[in-house]
Structure 1
Amino acid sequence: MIKTLLISLSVGAAAGLLGALCGIGGGIVMVPAFTQLLGLEHKQAVATSLAIIIITALVATTNNSRAGLVDWRIVLCAAVGAAAASWFGSDLMQSLQSSTLTRIFGITLLVFGAKMLIKP
């Protein structure tokens, strides 16, 4: 139990730092860590990561907004599309096998990672 708490705290700290610095953390840090280090299934790791992201996003957004870095017009427009797509995406996630989700996740990371390395 203590080991799980320490791993969770460490993963959360890494995800929070990378999330605030680069806009990443949930999928790239927490999902792999939760599956590999805590033995969660991919679906449970995704759902747990999304719940944590709510808190980290609120904290980082508050700080970034105070610095004038948030374009609230874009937030409002993009949030509508993101909310609708996430409702359907969470239904789809629940219907797929964890192994399929892991493959989709890995391919997505490879494609976007390669694009970022080639054209930063």
Structure 2
Amino acid sequence: MDFYAWILLLLGFTAGTLNSSIGLGWGVINIPVLMMLPTLTARQAVALSIVTGIFANGAATLENTRHGLVHWNYALMMGLGGIGGGVLGAYFLRNLPALTLKRIIGALVIVLGARMLLGR
């Protein structure tokens, strides 16, 4: 495997562990790191994070269901809302200027990180 393949494997493992154990968003971990790879644009990093999240979230869903941790009525309502939000978000991803997208991602990482560090 080449260097980037090892980085992506480690990134997926780390983000998957954090995502499934403490609910920290898959994208919060992956997107900033993916954007540092010279082979990906910000749009590609976001799209890749969304697609690969299917695998980690699918595995976590199976385990959490097996242990009775999923409230399916809530999951259904959130999932239905997420369908509309996903379509709208994909539209924004395609149409936002690249620099604006990078700034939004950077600002969110800073704000969310600060809130977590300050315990809010």
User: TM-score scaled by structure 1?
Assistant: 0.89
Higher alpha-carbon deviation: 20-29 or 42-51: 20-29
> Who is 1:64 aligned against?
64
Q: 1-side partners of 2:77 and 2:85: how far apart? A: 13
Higher alpha-carbon deviation: 83-92 or 32-41: 32-41
Count of residue pairs the alignment pairs up: 120
Unaligned runs of 5+ in 1: none
| 1:47-58 superposed matches below 5 A | 47-58=47-58
Q: Check conservation: 1:20, 1:60, Cα contact below 8 A.
A: yes
Runs of 4+ in structure 1 off by over 4 angstroms are none
Q: 1-side partners of 2:12 and 2:109: how far apart? A: 20
Unaligned runs of 5+ in 2: none
Partner SS for 1:5: helix
Q: 1-side partners of 2:25 and 2:114: how far apart? A: 18
Higher alpha-carbon deviation: 27-36 or 54-63: 27-36
Q: 1-side partners of 2:117 and 2:29: how far apart? A: 18
Identity of aligned residues (%): 34
> Who is 1:87 aligned against?
87
> Who is 1:24 aligned against?
24
Q: Check conservation: 1:34, 1:40, Cα contact below 8 A.
A: yes
The structure showing larger relative contact order (alpha-carbon pairs under 8 Å, at least 6 residues apart) is 2
